[in-house]
Amino acid sequence: MNRREFIRYMGIAGGSAMVIPIGLSGCAVVPVGKPNQAVAAGNAPLAYGTPKQRAHANGDGTPRMVVVFLRGAVDGLNVVVPHGDREYYQARSSIAVARPGQNNGAIDLTGYFGLHPSLRPLMPYWESGQLAFVHASGSPDGSRSHFEAQDYMETGTPGQHNTRDGWMNRLQGNLPRSDSPVQALTLGEATPRILSGRQVVANLPTGRDAARQTLIDQPKVSQAYGAIYASDDALGKAYRDGIAARKELMAEMSSNEQRMANNGAPLPNGLSIDTARLGRLMRGDPKIRLGFLAVGGWDTHANQGNGAGQLAGRLNPLATGLATLAQELGPAFNDTVIVVVSEFGRTFRENGNGGTDHGHGNVMWLLGGNVRGHTIYGQWPGLNKTELNEGRDLAITTDFRAVMSTLAEKHMRIPDSALQQIFPQYTTGMQHVSNILV
């Protein structure tokens, strides 16, 4: 679709959002205060909230980005809940999150949308205008395979199997040149698809013992191995990158964690242990520009629960982990955008086992000191059968690349010409969501 066609398309479909051209590179989907859509009987009026008006908050000026991938397809309709829609409650008799004010009910955000109650730790950021969501978003490819859809979202080329590297790695390659071995950090042992490619990526050890000295940290040991890894092949290179990254991270971690221990502060639990460490590292070392972590366990085919239960039990530590990351970033929170994504959404209607099956549209989360928050972006397609994707899933009205390429361009300051390398099929002129930053 070229730009003109896109505008026409959006003009026809966009009852609740205005499409305005932004510069030469695209358009923005702007939620407007008063939707002109007729309000169906029994439904609350559709409302996206109003962004907080505030000035840009300064950090150290080095933009950073963290992507949090919820593997397994989180149920976005129970994350940002359309509690103003009657059909939502009809379709989800046992798993709907109750209306605001009821027991375990949603936390109202806009009068129509509400937040899952387990995400309460994030509410301060909504109130301060630093948390936003893009609803009905996702990858345009129709795959309902977790693995294929994750792959597409990580390579940044939906529908194309043969892309070798991940879009975050390509983004890294377009940042100002750096000799730092820790320009990109991923939590845990493996290198995810999204970060695989030519640029060097460091693994950040996880758990309580991550900062402990090991044998390989002794110089005489690393020298002995250096001799047998002197070659130029993939293993030799990986070894040298590993030693360099480890030196840098160990130095930072041990001083950070020493300081914490001295203050008598206990280490937080679970995910927060790792997000706290990531936040502190990114605050202390502006050379670290990209972070990635994956959280699993969202494939709730059975006994999903509503405001309480299985999904609630997973969302809460996630919210705490994200709030911890925001806090520990300190002043660098103003330089950081944290994006939470998942490969696809889940079926609109609950299945026969109190769960949901693989669907399509989902919600993206945006958290950061200069995110223009307190609003829901995107265009809500509605939940009538005719508006659902294939009659069963939330439709997608915002391509995830619209959000990601906007962040790459406006936040990470990637030049327009390089965006084509990062999202090759997603060319200039296609949809962008350009007003999401202060």
Partner 1 sequence: MRISYNFRLGLIGLLTFGLCGVAAAQALSSQEQALHVLNRLAYGPRPGDVAAVEKTGVKRYIDEQLNPERVPFPADLQARLDSLSTYKLSSAQLYIQYGPPSFPGNNASPEEKNAARQRAGQEITPQSHLARFWMATESPRQLQEVMTEFWFNHFNVFEGKEWVRYWNAEYEKDAIRPNALGNFRQLLGAVAHHPAMLYYLDNWLSSGANTPQAKGRFKGLNENYARELMELHTLGVNGGYSQADVISLARILSGWTIAVRELKEDSDDATFIFRPGRHDMGDKQFLGRVIPRGGRQEGEVALDMLARHPATARFISTKLVQYFVSDQPDPALVNQLAQRFLATDGDIKAVLRVLFDSPQFWSRQNYQSQFKTPYQYVISSLRATATPVLNGKPISGALNQFGMPLYGWLTPEGYKYSQEAWLNPDALLRRINFVNGLSNGKSPIARPENTPPAPDAAPVDPVQLIQTLAPMLSQDSVTTIVSSPPNLQVGLILGSPAFMKR
For residue 313, state whether it binds partner 1 (rule: CB under 8 A): no
Amino acid at 282: M
Choose, by CB under 8 A, the member of 58, 160, 303, 427 that binds partner 1: 303
For residues 252 and 282, give the distance between their C-alpha atoms in angstroms, rounded to a whole number.
Answer: 10
Residue 157 C-beta: closest distance to partner 1, Å: 16
* Residue among 157, 233, 232 at smallest CA distance from 193: 157
Residue 206 C-beta: closest distance to partner 1, Å: 9
Of the pair 252, 409, the CB lying nearest partner 1 is at 252
Decide if 325 contacts 99 (C-beta within 8 A): no
For residues 342 and 118, give the distance between their C-alpha atoms in angstroms, rounded to a whole number.
Answer: 18
Decide if 137 contacts 362 (C-beta within 8 A): yes
Neighbours of 214 (CB within 10 A): 11
* Residue among 290, 268, 266 at smallest CA distance from 204: 290
In degrees, to the nearest 5, what angle opens at C-alpha 243 toward C-alphas 238 and 244? 100
Of the pair 226, 284, the CB lying nearest partner 1 is at 226
Decide: helix, strand or coil at residue 258: helix
Choose, by CB under 8 A, the member of 302, 313, 416, 427 that binds partner 1: 302
Identify the helix (H) or strand (E) that includes residue 365: strand 362-368
Distance set, CA 195 to CA 246, 412, 419 (Å)? 18, 16, 16
Of the pair 300, 375, the CB lying nearest partner 1 is at 300
- Of 43-51, 241-249, 255-263, 413-421: span binding partner 1 (CB under 8 A): 241-249
For residue 242, state whether it binds partner 1 (rule: CB under 8 A): yes
- Of 98-106, 296-304, 375-383, 416-424: span binding partner 1 (CB under 8 A): 296-304
CA dihedral in degrees (108, 112, 118, 121; nearest 10)? -50
For residue 9, state whether it binds partner 1 (rule: CB under 8 A): no
Query: How far is the first Cα of the chain from the last one, in angstroms, to the nearest whole number?
Result: 29
Identify the helix (H) or strand (E) that includes residue 131: strand 131-138
Choose, by CB under 8 A, the member of 1, 39, 228, 261 that binds partner 1: 228
Of the pair 38, 215, the CB lying nearest partner 1 is at 215
Total residues belonging to the chain? 438
- Of 102-110, 243-251, 268-276, 325-333: span binding partner 1 (CB under 8 A): 243-251
- Of 14-22, 273-281, 297-305, 380-388: span binding partner 1 (CB under 8 A): 297-305
- Of 77-85, 198-206, 285-293, 377-385: span binding partner 1 (CB under 8 A): 198-206
Site string for partner 1, 347-366 (x = CB under 8 A): ----xxxxx-xx--------
- Site residues (vs partner 1, CB under 8 A): 71-72, 143-148, 181, 188-191, 196, 200-203, 205, 214-216, 220-221, 224-225, 227-229, 231, 233-236, 238-239, 241-243, 245-246, 296-297, 299, 301-303, 351-355, 357-358, 390
